[in-house]
Structure 1
């Protein structure tokens, strides 16, 4: 969820910034309307789109003795903070939803309780109270006395009819629904402001084209601006009678400039898509092979010795592990070449976690923290890890044989590094180093 909010908000800010920089001051309002709505949909959709680019890294072939799959599900410690936050979010969202529905009901009530007159492709709702013309869906609300006394200019009817025919209310309802869901994100407030101002540009443009009298229309709007009534969910006649709106009435934009401005935002959209959707995944193919004919090989000096296969020590599996005693490296000549003597033998006592493997599972389950990406993707699978249990019981030499990604490699190593000392393995009552191959199954739930 956090990843979705970060990505979508970043995208919303960038696209709104591009709108104010390149498009808002140009007279191409139909394109701007499409751009603002597209920006909202694109930004809320893009976090769900992921295109993976597989980048292969050198393959490694690991020959190990047979490994039996164990089951080890790490359970997360219950955290009540997310529950509290979601409860708070649900409560506030419910209150905003109630407000949204109440305002729609208020418009429906006005329509039902007042006189209605068909006017072209709209309906005029005659209200008793003093009000400026405003539009909701295909209804225009006006004052009854002004209508009967013909105090409403034709330009105002044309202005409101433009809101009806171009269905501007649907845009406002859409952004209000988003504001209700994402009430904690102020960016949607700025989008609504930009959308409503662009609606007024469109309505003003229609009036100018129909009557071709800019000074009269500007003075008409300024005379109505003294009545400071705004209506939630409606298109308002006097919405933002600002310098921007008055200047836009006299502005012209050359087709070539308009085309360049439109093209200017295209690379931004493409860059956002590649930045937020493409993901490079490093994939290492690991081949785990069993020695043929149920034998194992070891190298001692220059000769190879074969013998019966010895299984690795695993929790919950009562098989003898293999103890690997590695003696310290010593210099054998003046060139500094090292040699290592290796001895493989059956141990007489297996290493053991204090309290047994059940306690080991509890330890890992308590300390393992799923990386956020693993939780978001409901990660499930196995990690194969090899480590050395030293003579003093410490764990060293961690090797990941098979990985699930999303940071689980680093996390399992971190947890095992915190492990208490084990009871070391023994050979003839003497502590020895023992190597463990441990398959661990992980299951993350969002």
Structure 2
């Protein structure tokens, strides 16, 4: 899991960097959208793809370093205990054994397990937050009047908010709607979001934000796609 997260994060950073420096200032929005979505999918799938190993993989190298460190620590602790026993000092043997036992306990600490526990805790919290947001949208659909506009449904909100969409639903302020204060360009912009299914893009990003909750690049990806 640790190696998967590291590889995916590196791929995310590389592909977003390419977008930021070469594509973000271009007005070819459809191509940019396809690129950003493809970058997310590739970054997520890349760790499962077996690439030719010209040099030892990062995972194997990390495992070798970790095993060498554990072996070195075990040897040092064993030598310390052997030297302590050779001193044959009965009155001082107990503190020495206690110190050596503490070192053994420290060496038995598993960083991957600790990292995994922290990661899954964050995954749980961000997933719960995402479900709360979806439930909030469900309440908006349930508690506010709607108008059928053919290709989409208009949801009239009491709050003074900017228009936004979620799949086939277009949410607008009822006061702005009645006063015809919403500009035609905004109607066309939001209608295009519905026709092109942009809600699927945002939904994908939100799911990946739960998986990569520790990665600030996901915030940049969501902003770029929006």
TM-score normalised to the size of structure 1? 0.37
1:129 aligns with 159
Equivalent residue of 2:148, what SS? Answer: strand
CA positional deviation for 1:108: 0.8
CA positional deviation for 1:87: 2.3
CA positional deviation for 1:10: 2.0
1:159 to 189, 195, 208: 189
1:373 aligns with none
Equivalent residue of 1:124, what SS? Answer: strand
1:116 to 143, 146, 156: 146
Residues 263-312 of structure 1: CA deviation (Å, up to 9, x unaligned): xxxxxxxxxxxxxxxxxxxxxxxxxxxxxxxxxxxxxxxxxxxxxxxxxx
Within 5 A, what are the aligned runs for 1:23-422? Answer: 23-52=23-52, 79-196=109-226
More helix by share: 2
Alignment CA distance shift 1:9-1:83 (3 Å): closer
Residues 331-372 of structure 1: CA deviation (Å, up to 9, x unaligned): xxxxxxxxxxxxxxxxxxxxxxxxxxxxxxxxxxxxxxxxxx
Contact 2:165-2:171 at 8 Å conserved across structures: yes
Highest relative contact order (Cα 8 Å, sep 6+), 1 or 2? 1
Contact 2:7-2:47 at 8 Å conserved across structures: yes
Counterparts of 1:188 and 1:107, CA distance in 2? 22
Residues 124-182 of structure 1: CA deviation (Å, up to 9, x unaligned): 10111212211111111111122223222322211111111111111111111111111
Counterparts of 1:113 and 1:41, CA distance in 2? 36
More strand by share: 1
TM-score normalised to the size of structure 2? 0.71
Equivalent residue of 1:82, what SS? Answer: helix
2:21 aligns with 21
Show structure 2 runs of 5+ residues with no match.
55-106
Residues 191-238 of structure 1: CA deviation (Å, up to 9, x unaligned): 112111xxxxxxxxxxxxxxxxxxxxxxxxxxxxxxxxxxxxxxxxxx
Alignment CA distance shift 1:145-1:28 (3 Å): same
Q: Which has the larger radius of gyration?
A: 1
Counterparts of 1:6 and 1:90, CA distance in 2? 15
Counterparts of 1:35 and 1:52, CA distance in 2? 25
